[in-house]
Amino acid sequence: MELMKLLDCFGSLSCLTTQITSALILGMILFLVASGLSLIFGVLGVLNFAHGALYMLGAYFTYTLLSIHGNFGVIAILASIGVGVFGVILERVFIKRIYTSPLLYQLLLCYAFILILDDLAKLVWGYEFKSIGLPGAFRRPPLKIFGSFVPSYYVFIIIVGVVVALILWFFLSRTKLGKIIRATAHSSEMVGALGINVQLVYAGVFALGSFLAGLGGVLAGPVRSIYPGMGASVIIESFIVVVIGGLGSIGGAFIGAILIGLMRSFGIIGFPLIEESFVFILMAVVLILRPRGLCGKKES
């Protein structure tokens, strides 16, 4: 344990900045994936285990589209929408059939999708790991913030994450469509009785959740290795974020994701040896103290 180093870091502004930004980077990507997961669970009652595979598709779509057209910003949006569309197809063809099945069967179906999508990715894109490389606009020396260096691309990710969180919050709490979605989470029968097409809401929510996961993959693509099965690297942590934050709570997912990010970045300074299991210990602690998660009760 290197607790002295940890305390030193708290005392230094540049170190604090470095570690907090590092936490936010991981946190934002996790948040994007986890928020989609939480939304889908909150409204549809489905624990979409295949969410990691959607993240993977976001990265692969970006890889393919970039070879056709160079503008990263445009590609990012297109790829995410692509994943959203794919998600809707998945939902309409397969997932809607198991809404009334036991939870475990839903999980099994989603797990089966991971298997299929991972192998399809291997067939379509090959088994070698791929790399996208930083978009041209970000190939510049890191920005200096409070005495610490932060790569501009990471600042971009953090901004996107925060903006998405704000848009989601606004959308769900202030707009009519958002209210419909929240109402459906409470009681789909009521909403249906009011004359609203519940199936459309379900499809829309699944599209939104998939879009978010895809966006996570798109943003992570340039800085991580792309390979079939890369969803596994985010899915468990996303689940933990969702559980810690409280199932169905977007705000909780945001807090949970940041917490995990902070724990990793400060954890490495103070406890370089034990970090992999920390997330699980964190989840255990949260569940024992607050059995419904931090913001859990019902949805956002």
Closer to other proteins by Cβ: residue 140 or 166: 140
Q: Are 47 and 41 in contact (CB under 8 A)?
A: yes
Contact (Cβ atoms closer than 8 angstroms) between residue 29 and residue 216: yes
Cα–Cα distance between 161 and 159 in angstroms, integer? 5
> How many angstroms separate the CA atoms of 243 and 31, rounded?
12
Name the residue with tokens 């917490």. 259
Among 7, 3, 48, CA closest to 235? 48
Nearer to other proteins, 73 or 147 (CB): 147
When the beta carbons of 163 and 287 are compared against other proteins, the nearer one is 287
Shortest Å, Cβ 102 to other proteins: 4
Least Å distance between CB 127 and other proteins? 4
Nearest-approach distance from CB 48 to other proteins, in angstroms: 14
Smallest gap from Cβ 101 to other proteins, in A, equals 6
Q: What Å distances lie between residue 115 and 94, 119, 130, 239, 254, CA to CA?
A: 15, 6, 20, 18, 28
Angle between helices 176-186 and 198-220 (to 10 degrees): 110
Between 81 and 162, whose beta carbon lies closer to other proteins?
162
Give dist(CA 115, CA 101) in Å, integer: 20
Between 99 and 170, name the residue whose CB sits nearer to other proteins.
99
8-state DSSP, 194: T
Q: For other proteins, which is the closer residue by CB, 131 or 175?
A: 131
Those residues whose C-beta lies under 8 Å from the C-beta of residue 165, and which sit 6 or more positions away, are: 31, 35, 250, 254
Looking at the Cβ atoms of 43 and 165, the one nearer to other proteins is 43
The CB-of-174 to other proteins minimum distance in angstroms stands at 21
Minimum Å distance from CB 116 to other proteins?
4
DSSP assigned state of 150: E
Q: How far is the CB of 227 from other proteins (least distance, A)?
A: 6
